[in-house]
Amino acid sequence: RQITQAHYRLVVSCAAFADGPVWIADGEPSAAHWLAPRLDACRSTVRDWIRVGRALRDLRASAASFEKGEISYSKARALVSLATRENEAELLEIAKSTPAADIGAAFARWSMRNEDQGIIDKRHRRARALRGRIEPDGSGVTTLRLPPLEHQVVTRAIEAQAMRTKLKPEADGSWPSLAQQRADALCELITSNARHRFEVLIHVDQNGCRFPDGTPLTESAVASVLDQASIRLIVHDLDGNPVNASDGRRRPTIRQKRTVTSRQAECSRCGRTDLTVLHHTVEHQHSGRTVTHELEPLCAPCHRLHHSAI
């Protein structure tokens, strides 16, 4: 808690300094320009400290919890982007009971339940950004922030390209990581003139709109793409399970993929939701069939590990 409490004092002090005249008198364009070299921090980091520190002035309960070390800076930063005096108490309880790694998803679910969808869409639109920086080793880092629908489209395009590309070892004999494969796929998509097809699935049912990985989506965002989209019907039984679709071919059909991913989107082994493929729980060479109740999603690493162990 001492580290968190020290972080609170730093954030509040930066906000207080930004409201003063010192940096103006020294001819700096902003308080972040003055503070960054003296704190040995990036200007973008200092700007965040100032922004959070100022926002906490109107969120007294959150500020008190941060000061006591009950919530971390990561949680405080997420809180101030959504909290008001009216909803602060509810969001603060969510922050206290949710791990920092899951706070974004937890707040997104709260927002979808409690806020007007038009407000959510406008906030997503305002927050979109593409930023870049150079790392100490000379490589470039690009950060892209998009509304949920556009982000899912970009993600699926990258994954589709990565899955189409034949995996090759590096010059030193090592194999590229998933992150490296995605980076290569993005570069290929941007620099290539080839047009490839990929699919973004959006589930619409009595529980609302969501992507297969559970990310919620506003109805208005779905409506905005209906005139460009193909609508596919997945029939469910009385228990809410997708009706089975069967085929004698080895590779699952598009319909089977939709059916299985509507039931389970994450890898059955490790739980990740990206770069998944459908794996036969009963080997096709033994069963001679491909049916949805004998298919499970596996991420590419788990799938390769399974077959390498056979």
| Whether residue 188 sits in one domain with residue 87 | no
| Whether residue 160 sits in one domain with residue 141 | yes
What pLDDT score was predicted for residue 181? Answer: 94
Find the mean pLDDT for residues 131-160: 90
Q: Which of 115, 140, 165 is the last residue of a domain?
A: 115
What pLDDT score was predicted for residue 310? Answer: 63
| Whether residue 156 sits in one domain with residue 71 | no
| Whether residue 215 sits in one domain with residue 124 | yes
| Whether residue 243 sits in one domain with residue 210 | no
What pLDDT score was predicted for residue 308? Answer: 81
What pLDDT score was predicted for residue 136? Answer: 83
In this predicted structure, the answer to whether residue 155 has a pLDDT above a threshold of 80 is yes
What pLDDT score was predicted for residue 197? Answer: 61
- For residue 281, the tally of other CB atoms under 10 A from its CB is 11
Dist CA 105 CA 155 (whole Å): 17
Dist CA 194 CA 253 (whole Å): 24
| Whether residue 121 sits in one domain with residue 111 | no
Task: Report pTM.
Answer: 0.62
| Whether residue 74 sits in one domain with residue 11 | yes
Dist CA 186 CA 149 (whole Å): 18
| Whether residue 171 sits in one domain with residue 270 | no
Find the mean pLDDT for residues 133-160: 90
Residue 113: pLDDT band (50, 70, 90) is: very high
Q: Is 120 exposed, middle or buried (0-12, 13-18, 19+ CB in 10 A)?
A: buried
What pLDDT score was predicted for residue 239? Answer: 67
Structure tokens at 294: 């004998």
Whole-number Cα distances in Å, 267 to 160, 212, 291 = 17, 12, 18
Residue 241: pLDDT band (50, 70, 90) is: low
Dist CA 54 CA 48 (whole Å): 10
| Whether residue 142 sits in one domain with residue 103 | no
Q: Which of 229, 264, 292 is the last residue of a domain?
A: 229
List pLDDT tens digits, range 258-278: 778 877 888 888 877 777 888
What pLDDT score was predicted for residue 246? Answer: 54
The residue segments making up the domain with residue 292 are 232-309
Q: Please state the domain count of the chain.
A: 3
Q: Which of 115, 143, 171 is the last residue of a domain?
A: 115
Residue 238: pLDDT band (50, 70, 90) is: low
| Whether residue 183 sits in one domain with residue 173 | yes
List pLDDT tens digits, range 45-92: 999 999 999 999 999 999 999 999 999 999 999 999 999 999 999 999
Average pLDDT, the chain: 86
In this predicted structure, the answer to whether residue 222 has a pLDDT above a threshold of 90 is no
| Whether residue 102 sits in one domain with residue 38 | yes
Share of the chain above pLDDT 70, in %: 90
Q: Is 184 exposed, middle or buried (0-12, 13-18, 19+ CB in 10 A)?
A: middle
In this predicted structure, the answer to whether residue 282 has a pLDDT above a threshold of 80 is yes
Find the mean pLDDT for residues 210-218: 78
| Whether residue 39 sits in one domain with residue 8 | yes
Share of the chain above pLDDT 90, in %: 48
The CATH number that applies at residue 33 is 1.10.10
What pLDDT score was predicted for residue 190? Answer: 85
